[in-house]
């Protein structure tokens, strides 16, 4: 697969899933779902880093809680490759609210609430490029 628009997306295994010991299970679901992991690392975001990443949501009622949560413990950031990667990853993740997610999705299986829903995924090819660049440099994507 080549690195064309639409083939790469950004993903996070959030602190709740890492804390619960579900990292390996989620990575396995990603691979068995047809994705190639092009980059992966465990990080501990500072509050400022989380605020920078979620800057588009500043001023919304959930911003403070979200950035506090995302900086509360380690998470796994990844670059995933697949045809139509953004949509494919969002389909595998499931709905933001695990209670409304389809059976068999990652959020249905591992998410506890809208706020602690195990994973993050880019919502567009444009945002995938921005989010990938926030956490990875070109040398880290193989």
**Residues classed as catalytic:** 120
In terms of C-beta density within 10 A (0-12 exposed, 13-18 middle, 19 or more buried), how is residue 103 classed?
Answer: exposed
Are 7 and 81 in contact by the 8 Å Cβ rule? The answer is yes
Which residues share a beta bridge with 40? Answer: 78
CA 13-103-37 angle, to 5 degrees, is 35
Which residues share a beta bridge with 13? Answer: 76, 119
């Amino acid at each position: 697969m080549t690195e064309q628009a639409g083939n790469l997306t950004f993903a996070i295994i959030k602190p709740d899933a890492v804390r619960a010991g579900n990292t390996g299970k989620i990575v396995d679901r990603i691979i068995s779902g047809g994705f190639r992991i092009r980059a992966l690392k465990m990080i501990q975001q500072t509050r400022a880093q989380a605020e920078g990443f979620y800057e588009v949501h500043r001023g919304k009622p959930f911003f403070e809680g979200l950035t506090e949560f995302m900086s509360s413990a380690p998470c796994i950031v990844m670059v995933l490759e697949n045809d139509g990667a953004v949509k494919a990853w969002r389909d595998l993740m499931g709905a933001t609210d695990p209670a409304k997610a389809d059976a068999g999705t990652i959020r249905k299986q591992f998410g506890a609430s809208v706020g602690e829903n195990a994973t993050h995924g880019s919502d567009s090819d444009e945002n995938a490029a921005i989010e990938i660049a926030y956490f990875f440099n070109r040398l880290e994507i193989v």
